[in-house]
Structure 1
């Protein structure tokens, strides 16, 4: 079975309110890329992945006027993808949903949120992801109320072979200091966003603890907007959100594993895989980051799965195909991560 996690930048802008693809020559929200070009590139990438299921991060919006499911299933039909059935969990308020696009001949899935709904004043521990968490972030005895910017998508999955999986799709809070007008504002917003991202990771880890204690085969996948050593503010808080979610310092049976995260945490030469590529106008060059992960519970790691980042420059199996390499650069500022596993 092949599972993929893919953050598709500005996917929502490629559809009208009826969920129809806008395959025209108007510019998309990608720099100097038309909507037709981005859609065609996405068609190439999704077809090349040939995944049994894709956790789509920044999926098209779902609200009173728009439907994530309609948009994604229309996209899948247009490009004749096996993964042609779509579903979401709790819609966000950001026009960026977390969606699951899958092949119904290979697996069955349903939204299966865990935890109890919290009251209006929040709850500690691991309440349902569309609720509010009460958390003392500073260790000063004062609890704060935390809400997910984009509630994680919790799925119960049954494969055609009868394997039972629990999947959690994640799009953690961005740490980018959008709106900063001065150096002081930049620092303030950066720290606030880092605190929110860490709070979301602590909440997610509390859910992971319960799933592992229950003996579930668990996969946590998506864009965490974080990676070990990614920014200087990590030193203020002592650890990255990724380390929290992985359970980095916990006993082996309580840890999740992703080889790319493990490499970033343990290497000392600065050699780190990357899953995203962004242009920095001030310095007029691109920079890369490790933001996207597929984390597995110990029982699934024991099945010797194979992870892969579909990087157009770093993966020789991709770079030898110019059309696919170009499509990956046009389609999004993130590259897909796949997991091949025998179940």
Structure 2
């Protein structure tokens, strides 16, 4: 089967208050792209992926005026996708949900959050992802309270042949230092935000470890927005969120070949999954942000990973319609995993 992760920039902007797809000439959230152009491009990309399950990062909003599940299923119907069933977990207030679009003829997916519910006081043993995690972030003998701005999506998955596994969709992101004035204040807030992101990674890894300890196959996928050499603060903490979630050094790590390549080279020629326009510089920046990490039992099945980057993948480049669609649809590119389950 084929499993994918795809961060779709401002997917929510393509739907009206009734969660219906709007493909008109108004601007989307994408730079210089209309809603019709983005919707058509996404239809082409999703059709080309032909995945059995797609973890969508920045999925349509879940709010009193919009339904994530209804919007995704309307999108699937508009383009006659076989991934026509959607599931989501805990909603957030960023208009960027995490949801799975899947083919119910191939696999079942059920939101199945683990861990204890917490009040404002939080918990220390990997509480439920909509709760509060207590952890000492700065080694001052005082526990900090950490929450996910985008709670990971925990799914109990089962193929039609009866193979069960866990899937966790994640979008970890260090907030920009909004409101800070002056270099020192910006640095302090940036470091504090990075600490919170690393705490979220520790929390996520603890949940992964619990499943591994039970012998359960695990797939963690999504946008970790962090990685080796990504910014100047990495040296302060020793490890990136990617390394923490993978569990490097603990004897039971997750595996992603692109992350492994980045971690294994001092001056790496990195694969990339995203392409952002830097307005002040008039150029594009590329980065490795999106991953599909698998447990060692799944790795033994010799899965095949692919980044659908139109400028790096010859097969994507060769099909002009797909090449253009990938560039129009989002500032991230899909990552797929082909595995025999």
| TM-score between the two structures when normalised by the length of structure 2 | 0.98
Gaps in structure 2 of 5+ consecutive residues: none
**In structure 1, which of residues 287, 290, 294 is the aligned counterpart of residue 288 of structure 2?**
290
Matched, 1:263 2:261: yes
Structure 1 residue aligned with 2:327: 329
Structure 2 residue aligned with 1:301: 299
Matches within 5 A, 1:81-120: 81-120=81-120
Q: CA deviation at 1:176?
A: 3.9
Structure 1 residue aligned with 2:163: 163
Q: CA deviation at 1:168?
A: 0.3
Q: Determine the C-alpha separation between the residues in 2 that align with 1:171 and 1:178.
A: 19
Gaps in structure 1 of 5+ consecutive residues: none
Q: Determine the C-alpha separation between the residues in 1 that align with 2:285 and 2:85.
A: 35
Q: 1:275 to 1:180 in 2, by over 3 A?
A: farther
Structure 1 residue aligned with 2:195: 195
Q: Secondary structure at the match of 1:273?
A: coil
Cα pair 1:173 1:200 within 8 Å, conserved:
no
Q: 1:269 to 1:237 in 2, by over 3 A?
A: closer
Question: Over residues 273-314 of structure 1, what are the superposed CA-to-partner deviations in whole Å (9 max), with x where a residue is unaligned?
Answer: 110111111211101111000000000000000000000100
The list of structure 1 runs, each at least 4 consecutive aligned residues, that deviate by more than 6 angstroms after superposition, is: none
Cα pair 2:152 2:170 within 8 Å, conserved:
yes
Q: CA deviation at 1:272?
A: 0.7
Structure 1 residue aligned with 2:70: 70
> Which deviates more from structure 2 when the two are superposed, residues 96-105 or residues 62-71?
62-71
Q: Determine the C-alpha separation between the residues in 1 that align with 2:184 and 2:88.
A: 38
Cα pair 1:88 1:98 within 8 Å, conserved:
yes
Q: CA deviation at 1:181?
A: 5.2
**In structure 2, which of residues 315, 318, 327 is the aligned counterpart of residue 317 of structure 1?**
315
Q: Determine the C-alpha separation between the residues in 2 that align with 1:287 and 1:180.
A: 25
Q: CA deviation at 1:233?
A: 0.1
Cα pair 1:135 1:146 within 8 Å, conserved:
yes
Q: 1:177 to 1:290 in 2, by over 3 A?
A: farther
| TM-score between the two structures when normalised by the length of structure 1 | 0.97
Matched residues, number: 341
Matched, 1:55 2:64: no
Matches within 5 A, 1:179-218: 182-218=182-218
Cα pair 2:85 2:101 within 8 Å, conserved:
yes
Matched, 1:125 2:125: yes
Q: CA deviation at 1:259?
A: 0.3
Structure 1 residue aligned with 2:276: 278
Q: Secondary structure at the match of 1:124?
A: coil
Q: 1:54 to 1:92 in 2, by over 3 A?
A: same
Q: 1:189 to 1:139 in 2, by over 3 A?
A: closer
Q: CA deviation at 1:179?
A: 5.2
Q: Determine the C-alpha separation between the residues in 2 that align with 1:210 and 1:165.
A: 13
Q: Determine the C-alpha separation between the residues in 2 that align with 1:141 and 1:270.
A: 38
Cα pair 2:11 2:59 within 8 Å, conserved:
yes
Q: Determine the C-alpha separation between the residues in 1 that align with 2:193 and 2:328.
A: 28
Q: CA deviation at 1:109?
A: 1.1
Structure 2 residue aligned with 1:242: 242
Q: Secondary structure at the match of 2:271?
A: coil
Structure 1 residue aligned with 2:230: 230
Q: CA deviation at 1:189?
A: 3.2
CA RMSD of aligned residues (A): 1.1
Matched, 1:32 2:35: no
Q: Determine the C-alpha separation between the residues in 2 that align with 1:73 and 1:181.
A: 44
Q: Determine the C-alpha separation between the residues in 1 that align with 2:299 and 2:190.
A: 35
Q: CA deviation at 1:317?
A: 1.1
Q: 1:140 to 1:185 in 2, by over 3 A?
A: closer
Question: Over residues 112-163 of structure 1, what are the superposed CA-to-partner deviations in whole Å (9 max), with x where a residue is unaligned?
Answer: 0001112320110200001000000112211000000110000001101111
Cα pair 1:227 1:241 within 8 Å, conserved:
yes
